[in-house]
Amino acid sequence: MAKSVREAVRAKWASVEYGELAKTTGGKSDEVKVVVDLTSEGDEEEIIESESEVKEIWPFKLLRSELYEEKWTGDQEHVLDMQDLLGDESLETVYLFSYQFEMDWVLGMIGKDVEVVVIAQEGTIIPASRHTGHRVRYNTVQMPKFCSHHSKMIIGLFRNKSCSIAIPSNNLTEMESSMPQQIVWISPRLPFGPRSTRSAFQSELIRYLERYPSPNRELIAKLRNIDFKPLESTGAVFVFCAPGGDANDKSGLALLIDYIDDTHNSENEAKQHRHYFCQSSSIGGPLRCQSSDGPRNIFTNLMVPMFAGILSALPRNARACPGVNVVQLLQDNRVHPHIMYPTVQELAECSPGWLAGGWFHFHHGKGGVAAQQYEFLRDNGYFIKQKEYKSRPGANVPIPVMKRDKVPCHTKFYMMFKSANPDNWKNDDCSWALFTTSNLSGHAWGSPPSYRPKNYECGVLYRSSSTTKIDVTCSKDVAYSYFPTQSLVTNARNYSMIIKVMTPYWLPAVKYSTSDEAFCISSNYAKLDVNGTSLKSLALNA
């Protein structure tokens, strides 16, 4: 069933050429050209050359999908195919970390002379249906029930002994890589050559690898002989979650807090508003505690108060986390949480329809504390959704932008923005940005009292400083231009480096309306999607 719906989506767009007219809801049509206007929908900004050299780092790429970019032939600077990661002819050994593997699809992209090492949870690998001639080794991890080896990482070692590291938001299956929107973080090429002092990124990556029950000593030894300076110079920090550990061997939320200091350094900063943004593909249940003081969501009632310094230390148990009073605490401290999660309407109206919903889990429809948590987040205005593409007369808009409109994102981003405005922020006022595999759950991050994660997760953190600026940009504004990326450095004159964090959606986003409902895959929605398919029929034919 999934394949037939996917083919129907393709067929719907097959007759649309990139030079044709985009139809508006009123029946009129606007000209669509292959070149996107580089200016945003807001005020135009003048492109100014910086008086001193400012280094721009673009570590994120949009993962190409045949559903959305099938006929796109524009500049590929910001669009990446999985084949680009796995099919490099100079690759010697590749280590694949993921939660799910479709080996026919994976091996079809890898040269037969490349050694493949798969690190996976038992029961998550669909083996190759035929002998391919590849040399494949499997390092499997046995996980307790409801716990996951959820990390997604590709470590490539090349014939010249150099190394590259990638963290994709997708697991290694074909449908997941092409249906929801996905982003990939990629390191610069790291040369061979051990240094007298190990980099922080290298140390944390090795510490993560050593947390496995049977660590891959061969990989660890090879990484010790890699020079991480090209990555270290960008300020990237490896942040991981793993079972086990103690106060001296932290991971998850306890580790992330050590890297983040959002306390005010001046009276002027104290007047600013702090916007904490989370976009996740799944939202777990509330923190476990017996209390009449409402459910405690891990983001609004624990993570954000810790990041903002409202809590001075990790609470000893879930009951010690703020309850319903957290709403007033956040307001008093000018702190605003925002959780982006797809709505029922977005799923029904996006080009793949309900089929894209299979990767999004928030079971608030089951009632009980899950429903109470949802009502708390909804009623306090913490939910946001993607901005929609708006067709404008004369707008130069590539077809992929329209195809991707409202398509949910499988990425996981956590960010903080400072602003003078309680309702808005500028995307270059980002204090820190984390791209990770960790969904919004206690299993991923760890929860009180132990704060030990139950999943394996990994991610990369960037922090702004007096010399480094973080600028968040949408892939739709840069991925489809035929022109090389041009820098808007109006506010960057005091910085030596700008980290461009690319998301598949526009920020700031839009608050849920009173009629919006967060998508719940365990609910049986009666309405048909844009392809005339019901959610129930997909479930029956899965």
Residue 134 appears among annotated catalytic residues: no
Q: Give 365's DSSP letter.
A: G
Whole-angstrom Cα distance, residue 2 to residue 5?
5
DSSP per-residue letters across 417-460: EEES-SS---TT-EEEEEEES--BSHHHH--TTT---SSBEEEE
Catalytic residue among 150, 338, 363, 364: 150
Q: Are 263 and 271 in contact (CB under 8 A)?
A: no
Contacts within 8 Å (CB) and 24+ apart, 491-496: 491/428, 492/50, 492/54, 492/428, 493/50, 493/51, 493/52, 493/54, 494/466, 495/54, 495/467, 495/468, 495/469, 496/52, 496/53, 496/54, 496/55, 496/467, 496/468
Q: Are 160 and 88 in contact (CB under 8 A)?
A: no
Q: How far is CA 33 from the centre of its chain?
A: 29
Whole-angstrom Cα distance, residue 436 to residue 415?
11
Tell me the C-alpha to C-alpha distance, in Å, between residue 99 and each of 114, 173, 292. Answer: 22, 10, 37
Contacts of 311 (CB under 8 A, 6+ apart): 302, 305, 321, 322
* Ramachandran bin of 446, using left for φ above 0, alpha for ψ from -120 to 50, beta for the remaining angles: left
Catalytic residue among 149, 275, 363, 410: 410
Q: How far is CA 177 from the centre of its chain?
A: 13
Structure tokens at 403: 């195809």
Whole-angstrom Cα distance, residue 201 to residue 199?
5
- Give the per-residue SS3 of 203-253: HHHHHHHCCCCCCCHHHHHHHHCECCHHHHCCCCEEEEECCCCCCCCCCHH
Residue 410 appears among annotated catalytic residues: yes
As beta bridge partners, residue 278 has 339, 414
312-333 as b/e, with b when 16 or more CB fall inside 10 Å? Answer: eebbeebbbbbbeebbebbeeb
| 94: three-class secondary structure by DSSP | strand
* Ramachandran bin of 269, using left for φ above 0, alpha for ψ from -120 to 50, beta for the remaining angles: alpha
Contacts of 113 (CB under 8 A, 6+ apart): none
- 412 labeled part of a ligand binding site: yes
Whole-angstrom Cα distance, residue 455 to residue 326?
27
Q: Give 374's DSSP letter.
A: H
Q: How far is CA 254 from the centre of its chain?
A: 20
Whole-angstrom Cα distance, residue 360 to residue 215?
31
Catalytically active residues, by annotation = 150, 410
Annotated binding site, which residues? Answer: 152, 412
Annotated binding site for substrate, which residues? Answer: 152, 412
